[in-house]
Structure 1
Amino acid sequence: MTINTPYIGRFAPSPTGDLHFGSLVTALASYIRAKSFSGKWLLRIEDVDIYRNQKGSDLSIINSLLQHGFQWDDEIVYQSNRSHIYKEYLNKLSLENKVYICNCSRKDLQKSVKNIETGEYLYQRTCFRKNIQFSSNQSYRVKTEPSNISFYDHLQGFFTQNIERDVGDFIIWRKENFASYQLAVVIDDELQNITEVVRGYDLFVQTPRQIYLQNLLNFRRTEYFHIPLVIDMFGNKLSKQNKAKPLNLQTPEKNLIQALDFLGLEENALRHLRKNSYNCKEIINYAIKNLNLNLMFQTKSKELNSTL
């Protein structure tokens, strides 16, 4: 971390289901990282995509975090309450001629070349050449440039991506009339003064486009720490989409110790935790003092070999 800059981290789940083990690992890693720097840890509910949200999931996630001993250092931020803020920044980019309107359908996009690394279709600037006038049910894309975006991840190392070549002009405002994940997360991290983002490796290749937006909006650059994904016996990421089981709230201490095992807490420390009847907050405080996340992994993924 930069000297004399107070550390502020965050955990930002989407309310699309109950908290599962993979999310617990991310929450715990981000919490330990923040507290090891004597910093703040914030909770943000990323519910900007109203079509994916499940009613009551936000309260379920909050309850699960509380049951596991987490305590955030400020009020919870809901993205659904911030659409007017995102729209202000969209208007700013529009006035600066850095975005354009797109009315291409998903079927249109599937005619483009697919990037094997990101799994996304490379947009061919079809609507950029049309000069479409604004009406409802249209997306906004940001104009990209052929320059390289490089960043250093505190766990994964250096990474470089040419946004124009590898991603193309990406959507920052969706046709359903709300901000894309990319725009919302960049604005929120800036306005909440987040100094480092700790999250799963599945978002690693999306980081350059977020840095690109930071540059366009004259935001400071955030630091990053992408942790390996928890995967199941079939090699799939544990996720709500893949029907990952919710955390068992009857065994929060066991869940935390299992997460610390995944995060690389050494075996003697794990035995110490299992042998003593610590509550969740005591387990977390022990981990803050005894787990160095910078040494946690040599690989980008680790299979979870126990029953959840």
Structure 2
Amino acid sequence: MQLNQRFKPVIGRFAPSPTGPLHFGTLLAALGSYLLAKCSGGSWLLRIEDLDPPRVVPGAAERMIRLIESLGFEWDGKILYQSQRYERYRQVLAQLRDQGQVFDCCCTRREILASAPHPEEEAPVYPGTCREGLPVGRVGRAVRLRVSNENIHFDDGVYGRQQQNLETDVGDFILHRADGLFAYQLAVVVDDIDTGVTQVVRGADLLSSTPRQIHLYRCLHAAIPDYFHLPLALADNGKKLSKRHGDVGLVSEENGVFMLCQALEFLGQAPPEALLYLSTREVLQWGLDNFQASAIPAKSSKIRFSAS
């Protein structure tokens, strides 16, 4: 059993949300996950995280798929869409309920903030109000997963040793939201388990989510994947570069070579200037031939895009 675990095949994945056009931060996740999986002789899956219909931009998924294909990325197997998996999420939630792992919660965000010792915090710790049952006269709005008072440790491939106490730092967390939608924490774990993912590569803004997901893996008696969190590309204001910054950092077929070279540079791979005169597939191949995971910096930084 230990031998099989040691030599298990690497299965990575890229899981963008179709909430707008492909931008540089998403390209970093695509490139980093692709190189880490393929350089290990593994496979690379594509999943569309269209879990939240109000945020999905019509046609964005199709445009993103065509673009990453034009950039030279090749995925293995069929594309998975979270919007087609709601029944599976319901099954897992029912399983957790049968095991006594989840409970209904009536608390609003305002109520949780009001009870927090530091209400100015963006993510106050859930105080456990409904853990032993709903207050009289209240009805459940969300479903939460019970956590315990223990430190969860994991070794990130970029940021090193991490730990978090879910009870004191997070509290029981939501798996099914008050608006009826399934939470990211549930969907991403179930999807990765069902597709056999062994390597999760994503932005460092999700580093703090990992202990919650590890706890859920344990509740479902599933193998925990290896984690690599990539540094974030920051805008001039020091915030994560994203779709809300407009056209800054948008990726297209026209600037694909330049953006791939920028992404390789940002990930510490030092691509030669000559790559700018090659095709996107040739740039990706250079990345595969020269990739050094140890060179990925464990620090987010600002990025400026000069003309290609």
With normalisation by structure 2, the TM-score equals 0.92
Shift of 1:55: 1.1
Equivalent pair of 2:105/2:140 in contact (CA under 8 Å): no
Shift of 1:178: 2.5
Shift of 1:8: 0.5
Shift of 1:15: 1.0
- 3-state DSSP of counterpart to 1:124: coil
The runs of 5 or more residues in structure 2 that have no matched partner are: none
Instruction: Give the aligned partner of residue 253 of structure 2.
Output: 249
1:178 is aligned to 2:181:
yes
Task: Work out the CA distance in 1 between the residues paired with 2:118 and 2:280.
Answer: 43
Letter paired with 2:273: R
User: Which whole-Å deviations, capped at 9, do the CAs of 1:226-264 have from their partners, x for residues lacking one?
Assistant: 010000111110112444643132121111111111111
Task: Work out the CA distance in 1 between the residues paired with 2:190 and 2:48.
Answer: 14
Equivalent pair of 2:39/2:291 in contact (CA under 8 Å): no
| Percentage of identical aligned residues | 38
Equivalent pair of 2:106/2:142 in contact (CA under 8 Å): yes
The alpha-carbon distance between structure 1 residues 233 and 211, as it changes in their structure 2 partners (threshold 3 A), is same
Shift of 1:282: 1.3
Instruction: Give the aligned partner of residue 204 of structure 1.
Output: 207
CA RMSD of aligned residues (A): 2.2
Instruction: Give the aligned partner of residue 154 of structure 2.
Output: 151
Q: Which moved more, 1:242-251 or 1:176-185?
A: 242-251
The alpha-carbon distance between structure 1 residues 132 and 270, as it changes in their structure 2 partners (threshold 3 A), is farther
Instruction: Give the aligned partner of residue 302 of structure 1.
Output: 301
Instruction: Give the aligned partner of residue 279 of structure 1.
Output: 279
Shift of 1:59: 1.0
Shift of 1:115: 7.6
1:25 is aligned to 2:24:
no
1:289 is aligned to 2:292:
no
Q: Which moved more, 1:253-262 or 1:223-232?
A: 253-262
Task: Work out the CA distance in 2 between the residues paired with 1:123 and 1:147.
Answer: 16
The alpha-carbon distance between structure 1 residues 24 and 30, as it changes in their structure 2 partners (threshold 3 A), is same
Shift of 1:136: 8.6
Instruction: Give the aligned partner of residue 121 of structure 1.
Output: 124
1:265 is aligned to 2:264:
no
Task: Work out the CA distance in 2 between the residues paired with 1:115 and 1:36.
Answer: 45
Q: Which moved more, 1:148-157 or 1:288-297?
A: 288-297
1:83 is aligned to 2:89:
no
The alpha-carbon distance between structure 1 residues 239 and 65, as it changes in their structure 2 partners (threshold 3 A), is same
- 3-state DSSP of counterpart to 2:6: coil
The alpha-carbon distance between structure 1 residues 95 and 300, as it changes in their structure 2 partners (threshold 3 A), is same
The alpha-carbon distance between structure 1 residues 169 and 291, as it changes in their structure 2 partners (threshold 3 A), is same
User: Which whole-Å deviations, capped at 9, do the CAs of 1:193-235 have from their partners, x for residues lacking one?
Assistant: 1111010000001100000000001011111000100001111
Shift of 1:52: 1.5
Equivalent pair of 2:104/2:140 in contact (CA under 8 Å): no
1:234 is aligned to 2:237:
yes
1:169 is aligned to 2:172:
yes
Task: Work out the CA distance in 2 between the residues paired with 1:98 and 1:160.
Answer: 22
For these two proteins, the number of residue pairs brought into alignment is: 301
Instruction: Give the aligned partner of residue 60 of structure 1.
Output: 63
Task: Work out the CA distance in 2 between the residues paired with 1:85 and 1:278.
Answer: 44
The runs of 5 or more residues in structure 1 that have no matched partner are: none
Shift of 1:65: 0.6
Task: Work out the CA distance in 1 between the residues paired with 2:245 and 2:139.
Answer: 33
Q: Which moved more, 1:119-128 or 1:78-87?
A: 119-128
Q: Which moved more, 1:250-259 or 1:214-223?
A: 250-259
Task: Work out the CA distance in 1 between the residues paired with 2:184 and 2:241.
Answer: 20
- 3-state DSSP of counterpart to 2:154: strand
